[in-house]
Chain A
């Protein structure tokens, strides 16, 4: 459905995309994850036919974005990071206008407008002025515009940016409902957003694809244990690193008092539960102020940091308490 090969974008001398290669199959929800300025929005603008690539090829539904831009636009619905809304218009007038832009005429237009208003749950605000709506409603109205022509591919740039938790949940549900019938590609710098919505994730950093991962694979990753201490303890970290049954031990970047420990395969070979109990007992004997142990699977957060650490300039990326990559 979406095929990107060697995508490069230059702004003057500045190279913002360095030969991206990826593909997204029909009916999949793919998340583009990366810090601000990593090249997500530029990639999405190119996919939507708004920007031309400097080199490389992008095909959507078999159409080339450079040679067959109009055909691509017919099959793509695009919701940019800043929702394109005329705030002085009423919702119903705005959706009708977008339908006219898409050359949906007569009876078809009426049907399309009613369908999209129903799908995006904005039927209770159809006669209200867009500028007076909450941000969540505005986002849904913008989604109406992206869906009016029933696109096969939906591109959503930061769809939950700036929304409150309730609105985020609502938009997520909506995206999942929409995604059952089409290919969706969404960008975000919020890890939980991508984890909650996507089937696969592409991590972009400095215009490079740093990693691709499937959320299904996530379930098969080895177990980790997160040890949390009452105070910052370098000694505990040092102690873990000296154990030969510990494969790796690293402090969690956003929780300075926590250590993420990965045990080696021999540790799990037999009586794993007993081994964990023994380790805990040893920690207590060492008088480390242990206050909690949490079983963790390797999540996107760990993958993301692993990838970012291996990239130049990795120290710039951090996760805020709300889960945003900053």
Chain B
């Protein structure tokens, strides 16, 4: 476990050692700040009472869940494909540690970054404490949805990234695969349970509204587990490439 945490810590710090981590954080906060400003202004103009969680935080979370499809692959590309391409993966592969530790460490490293972003996002609804009383249960539910959504996209990104040493292919491939994964639910004749399971945006919107369904949590966890397992399998198989 300590090795997994060491890999996670290195990758997490590595995001801030290059422009990627800072630029993405700036973009997220800039856009979410604009969304926050617009939503507050619109609600004030309409004269409606503001529900800080549903109306403000909910909007920001929905926005984040959308753009994460295009942001997270940049991080999984960096942590997995760049590691394979630059040869730094050999540093971990030549140490007496399991492939699970490597994959788990990389997963946790990206998770830590988005958890920090998620925590800083809580500042928006907490700011509204000054003039209203936010519903903290809905707040936490939305935050949990964001984290599960990020974890799912990260696991898919790591899986796709493990196939290639080329960062561009990794990024585009991951974003395309995630979209394909979501839109596969809209193929005519596909069962409802499948459509609900793969539509990550629909799954996360329940959490944003304060609804935590056991089935949704289980679906997220199942998708994460499957893709991390597949990623581990691909990484492990590199040793036996024929």
Contact = CB atoms under 8 A, between A and B. Distances in A.
Interface of A: 10-12, 48-52, 54, 70-71, 73-74, 76, 78, 80, 82-86, 88-89, 97-98, 100-103, 105, 145
Contact of B2 (A70, A88, A89, A100): A100
Interface in B80-95: 86-95
B192 to A, nearest CB: 44
Given A10-B242, A78-B90, A101-B6, A88 B18 contact: yes
B239 A50 contact: yes
Decide if the interface of chain B is mainly helix, strand, loop or mixed.
helix
| Residue with the highest number of chain A CB atoms closer than 10 Å, among B2, B7, B17, B94 | B94
Contacts of B7: 101
A84 B91 CA distance: 6
A80 B87 contact: yes
B18 A84 contact: no
B18 A105 contact: no
Contacts of B89: 84
Contacts of A11: 241-242
B131 interface: no
What's the interface size class on B, roughly?
20 to 34
B185 interface: no
Contact of A101 (B18, B87, B97): B97
Contacts of A86: 10, 14, 17, 88
A100 to B, nearest CB: 4
Interface in B1-55: 2-3, 6-7, 10, 14, 17-18
B29 to A, nearest CB: 22
Contacts of A78: 90, 94
A151 to B, nearest CB: 10
A73 B94 CA distance: 6
Interface string B227-242: 0000000000001111
Contacts of A80: 87, 90
Contact of B6 (A71, A83, A100): A100
B189 interface: no
Interface of B: 2-3, 6-7, 10, 14, 17-18, 86-97, 239-242
A76 B6 CA distance: 21
Nearest to B105: A101
A84 B83 CA distance: 9
A71 B95 CA distance: 10
A71 B97 CA distance: 10
Nearest to A54: B242
Given A50-B94, A86-B17, A101-B91, 4 more contacts: A74-B96, A84-B87, A88-B14, A102-B96
B239 A103 contact: no
Q: Give 9 nearest A-B pairs by CB, closest first.
A: A88-B17, A100-B6, A73-B96, A84-B91, A82-B87, A101-B95, A70-B96, A78-B94, A84-B88
Nearest to B93: A50
29 contacts: A11-B242, A50-B239, A51-B239, A51-B241, A52-B239, A52-B240, A71-B96, A73-B94, A73-B96, A76-B94, A80-B87, A82-B87, A84-B86, A84-B87, A84-B88, A84-B89, A84-B91, A89-B10, A89-B14, A97-B10, A98-B91, A100-B6, A101-B6, A101-B7, A101-B91, A101-B95, A103-B96, A103-B97, A145-B91
A73 B102 CA distance: 15
A47 B3 CA distance: 23
B3 A101 contact: yes
A145 B96 CA distance: 14
B242 A12 contact: yes
Nearest to A100: B6
Nearest to B91: A84
| Residue with the highest number of chain B CB atoms closer than 10 Å, among A51, A84, A89 | A84
Contacts of B96: 70-71, 73-74, 102-103
Contacts of B91: 84, 98, 101, 145
A103 B5 CA distance: 11
| Residue with the highest number of chain A CB atoms closer than 10 Å, among B89, B95, B240 | B95
Contacts of A70: 96
Given A10-B242, A12-B242, A52-B239, A85 B14 contact: no
Contacts of A85: 88
A83 B87 CA distance: 7
A158 to B, nearest CB: 13
Contacts of A51: 239, 241
Contacts of B6: 97, 100-101
A86 B89 CA distance: 10
Contacts of A10: 242
A154 B239 CA distance: 20
Nearest to B18: A88
A101 B6 CA distance: 7
